[in-house]
Protein backbone atom coordinates (compact mmCIF):
# COMPACT_ATOMS: atom_id res chain seq x y z
CA UNK A 1 0.00 0.00 0.00
CA UNK A 2 1.23 3.48 -0.78
CA UNK A 3 1.12 6.15 1.92
CA UNK A 4 -1.70 7.89 0.04
CA UNK A 5 -5.01 6.05 0.16
CA UNK A 6 -6.40 5.41 -3.30
CA UNK A 7 -10.15 5.23 -3.66
CA UNK A 8 -10.16 5.26 -7.47
CA UNK A 9 -12.73 8.04 -7.35
CA UNK A 10 -12.98 11.55 -8.75
CA UNK A 11 -10.00 13.02 -6.85
CA UNK A 12 -7.71 10.17 -7.87
CA UNK A 13 -8.84 10.53 -11.48
CA UNK A 14 -7.98 14.22 -11.38
CA UNK A 15 -4.57 13.41 -9.94
CA UNK A 16 -3.91 10.78 -12.62
CA UNK A 17 -5.04 13.17 -15.37
CA UNK A 18 -2.73 15.91 -14.08
CA UNK A 19 0.16 13.45 -13.99
CA UNK A 20 -0.14 12.60 -17.71
CA UNK A 21 -1.90 15.56 -19.35
CA UNK A 22 1.19 17.57 -20.36
CA UNK A 23 3.14 14.51 -21.35
CA UNK A 24 0.31 13.36 -23.63
CA UNK A 25 -0.20 16.87 -25.00
CA UNK A 26 -3.97 16.53 -24.60
CA UNK A 27 -5.95 19.51 -25.91
CA UNK A 28 -9.56 18.72 -26.79
CA UNK A 29 -10.15 15.00 -27.39
CA UNK A 30 -13.41 14.35 -29.28
CA UNK A 31 -13.72 10.86 -27.79
CA UNK A 32 -12.08 8.32 -25.51
CA UNK A 33 -11.73 4.83 -26.97
CA UNK A 34 -11.37 1.55 -25.08
CA UNK A 35 -9.84 -1.28 -27.09
CA UNK A 36 -10.90 -4.83 -26.30
CA UNK A 37 -9.11 -8.18 -26.57
CA UNK A 38 -7.37 -8.56 -29.90
CA UNK A 39 -8.52 -5.11 -31.03
CA UNK A 40 -5.45 -3.25 -29.74
CA UNK A 41 -4.03 -2.82 -33.24
CA UNK A 42 -6.38 0.14 -33.75
CA UNK A 43 -3.88 2.01 -31.57
CA UNK A 44 -1.30 1.60 -34.38
CA UNK A 45 -3.48 3.77 -36.62
CA UNK A 46 -3.12 6.79 -34.39
CA UNK A 47 -0.83 9.43 -35.86
CA UNK A 48 1.16 11.96 -33.83
CA UNK A 49 0.73 9.42 -31.05
CA UNK A 50 2.11 9.82 -27.55
CA UNK A 51 1.98 6.81 -25.27
CA UNK A 52 2.12 6.48 -21.50
CA UNK A 53 2.43 2.97 -20.04
CA UNK A 54 -0.20 2.17 -17.42
CA UNK A 55 2.58 1.46 -14.89
CA UNK A 56 3.38 5.21 -14.96
CA UNK A 57 -0.19 6.39 -14.31
CA UNK A 58 -1.20 6.77 -10.64
CA UNK A 59 -4.02 4.34 -9.78
CA UNK A 60 -3.56 2.24 -12.94
CA UNK A 61 -2.51 -1.40 -13.02
CA UNK A 62 -0.54 -3.32 -15.62
CA UNK A 63 -2.92 -5.56 -17.59
CA UNK A 64 -2.04 -9.22 -17.27
CA UNK A 65 -4.14 -10.68 -20.07
CA UNK A 66 -2.48 -11.56 -23.39
CA UNK A 67 -3.67 -9.22 -26.10
CA UNK A 68 -3.98 -6.23 -23.81
CA UNK A 69 -1.14 -3.77 -24.08
CA UNK A 70 -1.46 -1.43 -21.15
CA UNK A 71 -0.99 2.05 -22.60
CA UNK A 72 -2.90 5.31 -22.60
CA UNK A 73 -2.37 6.89 -26.00
CA UNK A 74 -3.16 10.37 -27.26
CA UNK A 75 -3.14 10.97 -31.00
CA UNK A 76 -5.09 11.65 -34.15
CA UNK A 77 -7.57 9.22 -35.71
CA UNK A 78 -9.69 10.11 -38.71
CA UNK A 79 -8.27 13.62 -38.46
CA UNK A 80 -9.60 14.13 -34.91
CA UNK A 81 -7.91 14.16 -31.53
CA UNK A 82 -8.62 10.99 -29.55
CA UNK A 83 -7.55 9.28 -26.36
CA UNK A 84 -7.14 5.55 -26.45
CA UNK A 85 -6.99 3.00 -23.63
CA UNK A 86 -5.22 -0.07 -24.98
CA UNK A 87 -5.79 -2.58 -22.21
CA UNK A 88 -8.24 -3.09 -19.37
CA UNK A 89 -8.02 -4.18 -15.76
CA UNK A 90 -10.75 -6.78 -15.68
CA UNK A 91 -12.86 -7.66 -12.70
CA UNK A 92 -11.97 -11.31 -13.27
CA UNK A 93 -8.37 -10.42 -12.45
CA UNK A 94 -9.65 -9.54 -8.99
CA UNK A 95 -10.11 -5.79 -9.49
CA UNK A 96 -13.22 -4.30 -7.88
CA UNK A 97 -15.65 -2.73 -10.36
CA UNK A 98 -14.62 0.82 -9.39
CA UNK A 99 -10.97 0.03 -10.13
CA UNK A 100 -11.87 -1.63 -13.40
CA UNK A 101 -13.79 1.50 -14.46
CA UNK A 102 -11.24 4.01 -13.10
CA UNK A 103 -9.60 4.67 -16.50
CA UNK A 104 -12.95 6.06 -17.70
CA UNK A 105 -12.85 8.66 -14.94
CA UNK A 106 -9.35 9.59 -16.13
CA UNK A 107 -10.51 9.94 -19.76
CA UNK A 108 -13.26 12.25 -18.50
CA UNK A 109 -10.80 14.24 -16.37
CA UNK A 110 -8.65 14.63 -19.50
CA UNK A 111 -11.59 16.21 -21.32
CA UNK A 112 -13.30 13.32 -23.14
CA UNK A 113 -17.08 13.76 -23.15
CA UNK A 114 -17.77 10.78 -25.41
CA UNK A 115 -16.73 7.16 -24.92
CA UNK A 116 -16.35 4.38 -27.46
CA UNK A 117 -16.08 0.90 -25.92
CA UNK A 118 -15.09 -2.26 -27.75
CA UNK A 119 -14.81 -5.84 -26.65
CA UNK A 120 -14.55 -9.44 -27.74
CA UNK A 121 -17.74 -11.35 -27.06
CA UNK A 122 -19.39 -14.70 -27.53
CA UNK A 123 -22.46 -14.84 -29.74
CA UNK A 124 -25.67 -15.60 -27.85
CA UNK A 125 -27.88 -14.86 -30.86
CA UNK A 126 -27.84 -18.15 -32.73
CA UNK A 127 -27.35 -16.63 -36.15
CA UNK A 128 -24.09 -14.87 -35.13
CA UNK A 129 -20.91 -16.20 -36.71
CA UNK A 130 -17.34 -15.55 -35.58
CA UNK A 131 -16.05 -12.30 -37.05
CA UNK A 132 -19.33 -10.38 -36.99
CA UNK A 133 -19.43 -6.90 -35.51
CA UNK A 134 -22.34 -5.95 -33.25
CA UNK A 135 -23.17 -2.40 -32.26
CA UNK A 136 -24.12 -2.44 -28.58
CA UNK A 137 -27.59 -0.95 -28.13
CA UNK A 138 -27.97 -1.82 -24.44
CA UNK A 139 -26.44 -4.03 -21.79
CA UNK A 140 -27.21 -6.37 -18.91
CA UNK A 141 -24.88 -5.89 -15.95
CA UNK A 142 -24.65 -9.45 -14.64
CA UNK A 143 -21.24 -9.07 -13.00
CA UNK A 144 -22.78 -8.89 -9.54
CA UNK A 145 -20.82 -5.68 -8.97
CA UNK A 146 -21.29 -1.98 -9.56
CA UNK A 147 -18.53 0.66 -9.78
CA UNK A 148 -20.67 3.31 -8.07
CA UNK A 149 -21.32 1.64 -4.72
CA UNK A 150 -19.99 3.47 -1.67
CA UNK A 151 -19.95 7.20 -0.97
CA UNK A 152 -21.13 9.43 -3.83
CA UNK A 153 -18.09 10.88 -5.61
CA UNK A 154 -17.99 14.60 -6.47
CA UNK A 155 -19.60 14.93 -9.90
CA UNK A 156 -21.45 11.62 -9.56
CA UNK A 157 -25.14 11.07 -8.93
CA UNK A 158 -26.67 8.48 -6.63
CA UNK A 159 -29.49 7.15 -8.81
CA UNK A 160 -28.36 7.65 -12.35
CA UNK A 161 -30.70 7.18 -15.30
CA UNK A 162 -29.60 4.43 -17.70
CA UNK A 163 -32.46 4.68 -20.21
CA UNK A 164 -30.07 5.66 -22.98
CA UNK A 165 -26.93 3.97 -21.73
CA UNK A 166 -25.75 3.79 -25.35
CA UNK A 167 -26.42 6.99 -27.26
CA UNK A 168 -29.00 6.65 -30.02
CA UNK A 169 -27.40 9.54 -31.93
CA UNK A 170 -23.91 8.00 -31.81
CA UNK A 171 -25.40 4.63 -32.73
CA UNK A 172 -26.93 6.16 -35.84
CA UNK A 173 -23.54 7.62 -36.75
CA UNK A 174 -21.93 4.20 -36.36
CA UNK A 175 -24.60 2.65 -38.59
CA UNK A 176 -24.04 5.39 -41.18
CA UNK A 177 -20.27 4.80 -41.13
CA UNK A 178 -20.79 1.05 -41.50
CA UNK A 179 -23.08 1.62 -44.44
CA UNK A 180 -20.71 4.10 -46.09
CA UNK A 181 -17.86 1.60 -45.84
CA UNK A 182 -19.89 -1.51 -46.66
CA UNK A 183 -18.95 -3.08 -43.32
CA UNK A 184 -21.74 -5.35 -42.01
CA UNK A 185 -22.80 -4.15 -38.54
CA UNK A 186 -25.46 -5.93 -36.50
CA UNK A 187 -26.92 -4.47 -33.34
CA UNK A 188 -27.85 -6.08 -30.06
CA UNK A 189 -27.68 -6.35 -26.29
CA UNK A 190 -24.40 -7.14 -24.52
CA UNK A 191 -24.45 -9.17 -21.32
CA UNK A 192 -21.45 -8.46 -19.07
CA UNK A 193 -20.50 -11.32 -16.74
CA UNK A 194 -17.69 -11.49 -14.21
CA UNK A 195 -15.83 -14.46 -15.74
CA UNK A 196 -13.10 -15.66 -15.91
CA UNK A 197 -14.53 -18.95 -17.13
CA UNK A 198 -16.53 -18.99 -20.33
CA UNK A 199 -20.23 -19.72 -19.79
CA UNK A 200 -21.87 -23.11 -19.56
CA UNK A 201 -24.33 -23.97 -22.33
CA UNK A 202 -27.15 -23.57 -19.77
CA UNK A 203 -25.92 -20.07 -18.95
CA UNK A 204 -25.86 -19.16 -22.64
CA UNK A 205 -29.48 -20.40 -22.96
CA UNK A 206 -30.37 -18.34 -19.88
CA UNK A 207 -28.77 -15.23 -21.43
CA UNK A 208 -30.73 -15.81 -24.61
CA UNK A 209 -33.97 -15.84 -22.60
CA UNK A 210 -32.89 -12.70 -20.74
CA UNK A 211 -32.62 -10.85 -24.03
CA UNK A 212 -28.85 -10.88 -24.58
CA UNK A 213 -27.33 -11.17 -28.05
CA UNK A 214 -23.67 -11.31 -27.00
CA UNK A 215 -21.75 -12.12 -23.81
CA UNK A 216 -18.43 -10.91 -22.48
CA UNK A 217 -16.45 -10.09 -19.35
CA UNK A 218 -15.95 -6.34 -19.52
CA UNK A 219 -17.47 -3.01 -20.56
CA UNK A 220 -20.55 -2.72 -18.32
CA UNK A 221 -18.75 -1.12 -15.35
CA UNK A 222 -17.07 1.37 -17.69
CA UNK A 223 -20.36 2.37 -19.26
CA UNK A 224 -22.03 2.79 -15.85
CA UNK A 225 -19.28 5.21 -14.79
CA UNK A 226 -19.28 7.03 -18.13
CA UNK A 227 -23.02 7.63 -18.02
CA UNK A 228 -22.77 8.78 -14.43
CA UNK A 229 -20.26 11.40 -15.57
CA UNK A 230 -22.62 12.43 -18.38
CA UNK A 231 -20.50 10.99 -21.20
CA UNK A 232 -22.23 9.86 -24.41
CA UNK A 233 -21.43 6.23 -25.12
CA UNK A 234 -21.15 4.08 -28.23
CA UNK A 235 -19.80 0.56 -28.44
CA UNK A 236 -19.07 -2.44 -30.62
CA UNK A 237 -18.63 -6.11 -29.78
CA UNK A 238 -16.59 -8.32 -32.03
CA UNK A 239 -18.24 -11.74 -31.97
CA UNK A 240 -15.22 -14.03 -31.70
CA UNK A 241 -17.09 -17.31 -31.24
CA UNK A 242 -20.58 -18.76 -30.93
CA UNK A 243 -21.50 -18.96 -27.22
CA UNK A 244 -20.89 -22.22 -25.39
CA UNK A 245 -23.23 -24.98 -26.52
CA UNK A 246 -24.23 -23.18 -29.73
CA UNK A 247 -21.30 -24.78 -31.52
CA UNK A 248 -19.79 -28.00 -30.26
CA UNK A 249 -16.17 -26.73 -30.21
CA UNK A 250 -14.65 -25.84 -26.81
CA UNK A 251 -13.88 -22.12 -26.35
CA UNK A 252 -10.41 -20.72 -25.81
CA UNK A 253 -8.69 -17.35 -25.50
CA UNK A 254 -6.44 -17.99 -28.52
CA UNK A 255 -9.49 -18.23 -30.75
CA UNK A 256 -10.75 -14.94 -29.32
CA UNK A 257 -7.42 -13.25 -30.09
CA UNK A 258 -7.13 -14.72 -33.60
CA UNK A 259 -10.61 -13.50 -34.48
CA UNK A 260 -9.69 -10.04 -33.21
CA UNK A 261 -6.69 -9.93 -35.52
CA UNK A 262 -8.80 -11.08 -38.49
CA UNK A 263 -11.42 -8.39 -37.85
CA UNK A 264 -8.94 -5.62 -37.05
CA UNK A 265 -8.99 -4.08 -40.54
CA UNK A 266 -12.75 -3.64 -40.87
CA UNK A 267 -13.07 -2.65 -37.22
CA UNK A 268 -10.34 -0.01 -37.53
CA UNK A 269 -11.81 1.40 -40.76
CA UNK A 270 -15.21 1.67 -39.10
CA UNK A 271 -13.98 3.38 -35.93
CA UNK A 272 -11.78 5.82 -37.88
CA UNK A 273 -14.69 6.75 -40.17
CA UNK A 274 -17.01 7.18 -37.19
CA UNK A 275 -14.49 9.37 -35.33
CA UNK A 276 -13.80 11.51 -38.40
CA UNK A 277 -17.45 12.64 -38.35
CA UNK A 278 -17.53 13.74 -34.69
N1 LIG B 1 -18.02 -15.61 -23.36
C2 LIG B 1 -17.58 -14.59 -22.60
N3 LIG B 1 -16.65 -13.75 -23.00
C4 LIG B 1 -16.14 -13.91 -24.23
C5 LIG B 1 -16.56 -14.94 -25.07
C6 LIG B 1 -17.57 -15.83 -24.62
O7 LIG B 1 -17.99 -16.78 -25.31
N8 LIG B 1 -15.85 -14.81 -26.23
C9 LIG B 1 -15.05 -13.74 -26.08
N10 LIG B 1 -15.21 -13.18 -24.86
pLDDT computed for residue 133 by the predictor: 96
Mean local confidence (pLDDT), 115-126 = 97
From the candidates 16, 17, 43, 68, give the one annotated as an active-site residue.
68
CB-based burial of residue 55 (10 Å sphere; 0-12 exposed, 13-18 middle, 19+ buried)? Answer: exposed
Q: How far is the CA of 60 from the centre of ligand 1 (A)?
A: 24
The 3 state secondary structure assigned to 169-197 is HHHHHHHHHHHHHCCCCEEEEEEEECCCC
Helix (H) or strand (E) holding 19: helix 10-24
The closest-lying atom of ligand 1 relative to the alpha carbon of residue 217 is 3
Instruction: Note down the domain range covering 206.
Output: 3-276
The closest-lying atom of ligand 1 relative to the alpha carbon of residue 119 is 10
At 134 the three-state DSSP class reads strand
Per the prediction, the chain carries an average pLDDT of 93
Predicted confidence (pLDDT) at residue 255 exceeds the cutoff of 90: no
| Number of compact structural domains in the chain | 1
Q: Are 88 and 35 in contact (CB under 8 A)?
A: no
Window from 124-138, 177-191, 243-257 with minimum mean pLDDT: 243-257
Q: What is the CA radius of gyration of the chain?
A: 17
Share of the chain above pLDDT 70, in %: 96
Give how far Cα 193 sits from Cα of 56, 214, 219, 239, 274, Å.
29, 11, 10, 15, 28
Residue 256, ligand 1, Cβ within 6 A: yes
Window from 11-20, 67-76, 216-225 with minimum mean pLDDT: 67-76
For a ligand 1 pocket test, name from 198, 202, 249, 254 the mutation site with the most ligand atoms within 8 angstroms of its C-beta: 198
CATH code, domain with 262: 3.40.50.1580
Predicted confidence (pLDDT) per residue in 149-172, tens digit? 998 988 888 999 999 999 999 999
> Hey, which bits of the chain come out as E strands?
31-35, 47-53, 71-77, 80-86, 114-123, 133-142, 186-193, 214-216, 232-242
Predicted confidence (pLDDT) per residue in 25-80, tens digit? 988 999 999 998 888 889 999 999 999 999 999 999 877 766 558 999 999 999 99
Q: How far is the CA of 168 from the centre of ligand 1 (A)?
A: 25
Predicted confidence (pLDDT) at residue 177 exceeds the cutoff of 80: yes
From the candidates 13, 16, 37, 71, give the one annotated as an active-site residue.
37
pTM: 0.95
Q: Are 140 and 211 in contact (CB under 8 A)?
A: yes
Amino acid sequence: MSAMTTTHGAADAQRAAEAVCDRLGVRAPVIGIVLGSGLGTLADRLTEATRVPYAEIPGFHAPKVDGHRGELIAGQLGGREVLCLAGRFHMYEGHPARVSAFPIRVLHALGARRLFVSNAAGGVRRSFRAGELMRIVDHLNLTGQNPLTGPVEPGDQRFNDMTEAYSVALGERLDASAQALGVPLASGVYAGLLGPNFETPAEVRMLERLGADAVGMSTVAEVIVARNLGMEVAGISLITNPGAGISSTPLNHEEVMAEGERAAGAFGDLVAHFVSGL
